[in-house]
């Protein structure tokens, strides 16, 4: 079986590729799967110091190197973004994270939290980028609502979305203007 593919630069030119070759390319090329990694985001209640980041990287990397689901190793990676957000990604094309493996990840996060007191699992904290100085602020939800009500935060303020759960959404929906974000429900 052949599939006709079109070059996006010149729609008039086309190439014919066997389905077998196409499937091989899909399976062997990360480009096709990278946008569908499972993602977990944990935010700190404050900016992390370099020593805290080092501790988190060491502790979480040790965990991730042995992380498994039903005996299958989970191919994962950690990123710390803006000295505040810990992003854990899993390539679920290799093995899917199970309920037990996710519980173990959350226990690891709790251990880090207990050591550094970062409030990492508190989903009632909201992070936004201050329009005055571009600093990332993190406040409890009730204070965030008050800031909106008092016009200290406007519809263009960038808000972070911790509920994204795959790398494609992370790339496109993690940081959005308030008017386009999950928090738009609090606008008047």
Q: Are 39 and 14 part of one and the same domain?
A: no
The residue length of the chain stands at 188
pLDDT in tens, 24-36: 444 444 433 355 7
Work out how many domains the chain is built from and give that number. 3
Residues 38 and 98 in one domain: yes
Find all residues with CB under 8 Å of 62, minimum gap 6, and list them.
none
Residues 109 and 178 in one domain: no
Are residue 24 and residue 40 in the same domain, yes or no? no
Same domain, 42 and 97: yes
Structural domain that includes position 142: 125-186
Indicate whether 22 and 50 sit together in one domain: no
One domain for residues 20 and 41: no
Q: Are residues 53 and 108 in the same domain?
A: yes
18 compared with 123, residue with greater pLDDT: 123
- Whether 15 and 83 map to the same domain: the answer is no
36-46 residue pLDDT tens: 789 999 999 99
Q: How far is CA 178 from the centre of its chain?
A: 18
Is the whole model's pTM more than 0.75, yes or no? yes
* Residue 143 and residue 92 in one domain: no
- Secondary structure element (H or E) that encloses residue 59, with its range: helix 50-66
pLDDT tens track for 105-126: 999 999 999 999 999 999 999 9
Same domain, 136 and 64: no
Domain boundary pick from 116, 136, 166: 116
Percent of the chain with pLDDT strictly greater than 70: 81
Sign of the C-alpha dihedral computed for residues 80, 82, 84 and 90 taken in this order: negative
Q: Do 6 and 39 share a structural domain?
A: no
């Amino acid at each position: 079986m052949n599939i006709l593919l079109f070059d996006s630069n010149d729609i008039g030119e086309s190439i014919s590729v066997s389905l077998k070759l196409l499937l091989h390319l899909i399976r062997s090329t990360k480009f096709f799967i990278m946008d569908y990694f499972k993602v977990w985001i944990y935010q700190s209640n404050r900016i992390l110091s370099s020593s805290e980041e080092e501790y988190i990287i060491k502790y979480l990397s040790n965990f991730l190197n042995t992380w498994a689901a039903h005996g299958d190793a989970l191919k994962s990676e950690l990123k710390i973004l803006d000295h505040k957000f810990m992003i854990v990604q899993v390539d679920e094309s290799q093995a899917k994270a199970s309920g037990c493996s996710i519980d173990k990840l959350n226990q690891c996060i709790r251990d880090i939290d207990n050591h550094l007191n970062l409030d990492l699992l508190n989903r009632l904290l909201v992070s936004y980028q201050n329009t005055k100085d571009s600093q990332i602020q993190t406040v409890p939800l009730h204070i965030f609502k008050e800031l909106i009500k008092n016009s200290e935060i406007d519809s263009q303020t960038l808000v972070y979305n911790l509920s994204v759960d795959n790398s494609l959404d992370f790339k496109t929906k993690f940081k959005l203007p308030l008017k386009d974000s999950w928090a738009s429900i609090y606008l008047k």
